[in-house]
Chains A and B, each alone.
Chain A
Amino acid sequence: MRGLSRNSPTLGEAVTKAAKSSWSRKAYADRHKGELLWVLKDLSFEVFAGEVVGIIGRNGAGKSTLLKILSRIIKPTTGEADLYGRVGSLLEIGTGFHPDLTGRENIFLNGAIIGMKREEIKRKFDEIVAFAEVERFLETPIKFYSSGMYVRLAFAVAAHFVPEILILDEVLAVGDAAFREKCLKKMREVSQQGRTVFYVSHDLMSVQQLCGRILLLEAGRLIEDGEPVTVIQKYLDIVSRAENLPA
């Protein structure tokens, strides 16, 4: 995958040319005139089934954009990616939870939104409920849930969704220590089943614990790809160098 970008003006070339609908074309080109910012550029990598790949980098390095492109939420301006299998992206947990619906109803709704089939949700329903520890509140609208219960329920649905490729954005940064440990364990299980996992986080501890390989992004480029210990060291170097620079 190379030269991925978003909101760049010579979107002109890529988007405008293809945009048949003239009414969007002109406005778009006008709005982006004279501004060129490649969020991601010249990066290319291959990931194989069963790998758990961490993606780290400073704020604005392009991590989230990369995940959004792989999740198909945004399109690349240029470049391409091939994904062999169903992609599940959990850029947040509890996407689409509705406060007026009960815990039971939200399990189905959230499951469907993140891409689970109805059958699959039904099959795993009891497991999800047990994992979230919300048995007694299943018929209660979730607006009455404590934030801890909410987060546990949201994570439980996400954790029982096992597509071939799983994309996670800092979703482990929730709940108390015991629950986080439970989540990490669940993630390891997922990867042992031969699923591919992308994991973005600023929490280097969890990245190191979970991932067998790390990609380091800096200013939209892939600058390091390899063993966790090496890459994390490199990342820390970059961070400390940036801090030591005079403003």
Chain B
Amino acid sequence: MKAISADNISPDNPVGHGPLIKIRAGHSPVASQLRDAWAHRELFYFLMWRDLKVRYRQTLLGAGWVILQPLLTTIVFTIFMNKLVRVPSDGLPYPLFAYAGLLPWMFFSNSVSTSAYSLFNNSYIVTKVYFPRLIIPAAIVGVRLVDFIVASIVLVGLMLVYGVNLKIGLLLLPLLVAQLTLFTFGISLWFSILNVRYRDIGTLLPVLIQLWMFVSPVVYPSSLVPDKWRFAYSLNPMTGILEALRGSLFGLPLQWTAVGISMALTIVLAVYFTYLFCRWEENLIDVL
């Protein structure tokens, strides 16, 4: 077909000052999808901002829940696990021990369970506008990270109350939080895309997360696990993360093998799930 108005403009000499966008059949390289996601980072902030605003506006206690959720759970576990079952806590006061486990755990589990439905919940945007879909679960993890940081204030308070002495291991903390965030992000990506593909995953997820919590040292120390199971136990990346977080906060000795395994697994899984998500998001519309 001939174009009507031409002047001196041709595809070889485009007047548009914007970038050249190539639409091709088949998959775009994952690297270019990630660059594109980075270029859309403002949208990531806006989606985070939207979720934070809406949440804090609609609820009675607003930000209070961010602190109350782990705090109340800690009280429940203190009563049942500590007072009734007498679970040990590596010589730490149990409430402090449990809160330091539940806080990162809730960041993880809340991110994953919210992300699992994120593509559905945002389908009214996804089907109308193009942007890298990765941003949607990423924004959810971002919001939960804010919650995590806010609720950390209580942890600092508890540490002051119980008079915890800070040790050099505390320097590891930023690295460990980064690892936790990366792992959470990877698993969130995976479940968000998996749940679109197989919708019953969403139904299974609460059970799965519950189970995962009990095979991770959230409300009991990993020292409770028999030695012969220790290696299998440390194949769960959350084991290394949670133990190292406590070790770093309270100056406990670190299980370097578990920490190493969990770091390596975190990176492998995060990369793989990101790749999977990028590959799959292109067919998303067909199933959403």
Tell me, rounded to whole Å, the shortest Cβ–Cβ distance linking B68 to chain A.
22
With both beta carbons as reference points, the residue of chain B lying nearest to A49 in the complex is identified as B15
Q: Is A48 an interface residue (CB 8 A)?
A: yes
8 Å CB contact of A72 from B3, B11, B23, B26: B23
Bits for A67-97, please: 1 = Cβ < 8 Å to B, else 0: 0111111111111111111110101100110
Q: Which residues of A contact B200 (CB under 8 A)?
A: none
For window 1-31 of chain A, which residues contact chain B by CB distance below 8 Å? 1, 6-7, 14-15, 17-21, 23-24, 27-28
Task: Please report the C-alpha to C-alpha distance between residue A109 and residue B58 in the assembled complex, in whole angstroms.
Answer: 18
Tell me, rounded to whole Å, the shortest Cβ–Cβ distance linking A113 to chain B.
6
Q: Is A187 an interface residue (CB 8 A)?
A: no
Q: Which residues of A contact B17 (CB under 8 A)?
A: 85, 164
Q: Is A46 an interface residue (CB 8 A)?
A: yes
Given the known interface contacts A14-B25, A49-B9, A109-B50, the answer about A85 and B16 at a Cβ–Cβ threshold of 8 Å is yes
Q: Is B228 an interface residue (CB 8 A)?
A: no
Cross-chain contact A49 with B124 (CB below 8 angstroms): no
Tell me, rounded to whole Å, the shortest Cβ–Cβ distance linking A39 to chain B.
12
Segment at the interface with B among A98-106, A128-136, A174-182? A98-106
With both beta carbons as reference points, the residue of chain A lying nearest to B15 in the complex is identified as A49
Tell me, rounded to whole Å, the shortest Cβ–Cβ distance linking B30 to chain A.
10
Q: Which residues of A contact B35 (CB under 8 A)?
A: none
Given the known interface contacts A21-B276, A212-B4, the answer about A75 and B43 at a Cβ–Cβ threshold of 8 Å is no
Cross-chain contact A212 with B5 (CB below 8 angstroms): yes
8 Å CB contact of A21 from B7, B25, B124, B279: B279
With both beta carbons as reference points, the residue of chain B lying nearest to A6 in the complex is identified as B286
Q: Which residues of B contact A72 (CB under 8 A)?
A: 21, 23, 130
Q: Which residues of A contact B279 (CB under 8 A)?
A: 19-21, 24
Q: Is A112 an interface residue (CB 8 A)?
A: yes
Interface size on A, residues (CB 8 A): 69
Q: Is A165 an interface residue (CB 8 A)?
A: yes
Q: Is B150 an interface residue (CB 8 A)?
A: no
Tell me, rounded to whole Å, the shortest Cβ–Cβ distance linking B58 to chain A.
6
Bits for A196-222, please: 1 = Cβ < 8 Å to B, else 0: 100000000000000011000000001
Q: Which residues of B contact A184 (CB under 8 A)?
A: none
Task: Please report the C-alpha to C-alpha distance between residue A196 and residue B21 in the assembled complex, in whole angstroms.
Answer: 15
Q: Is B230 an interface residue (CB 8 A)?
A: no
Bits for B100-140, please: 1 = Cβ < 8 Å to A, else 0: 00000000000000000000000011011111000000000
Q: Is B24 an interface residue (CB 8 A)?
A: yes
Cross-chain contact B58 with A100 (CB below 8 angstroms): yes
Q: Which residues of A contact B22 (CB under 8 A)?
A: 80-83
Cross-chain contact A48 with B54 (CB below 8 angstroms): no
Task: Please report the C-alpha to C-alpha distance between residue A83 and residue B4 in the assembled complex, in whole angstroms.
Answer: 18
Q: Is B163 an interface residue (CB 8 A)?
A: no
Sample of 14 further A-B pairs with CB below 8 A, known A82-B21, A89-B129, A96-B125? A21-B279, A71-B129, A73-B285, A85-B14, A85-B18, A86-B18, A87-B130, A96-B129, A100-B58, A105-B50, A114-B129, A117-B42, A163-B18, A212-B4
8 A-B residue pairings within 8 Å (CB atoms): A15-B26, A49-B14, A75-B26, A76-B24, A80-B25, A95-B128, A164-B17, A226-B4
Q: A: which residues have CB within 8 A of B?
A: 1, 6-7, 14-15, 17-21, 23-24, 27-28, 44-51, 68-87, 89, 91-92, 95-96, 98, 100-101, 105, 108-109, 112-115, 117-118, 163-165, 194, 196, 212-213, 222, 225-226
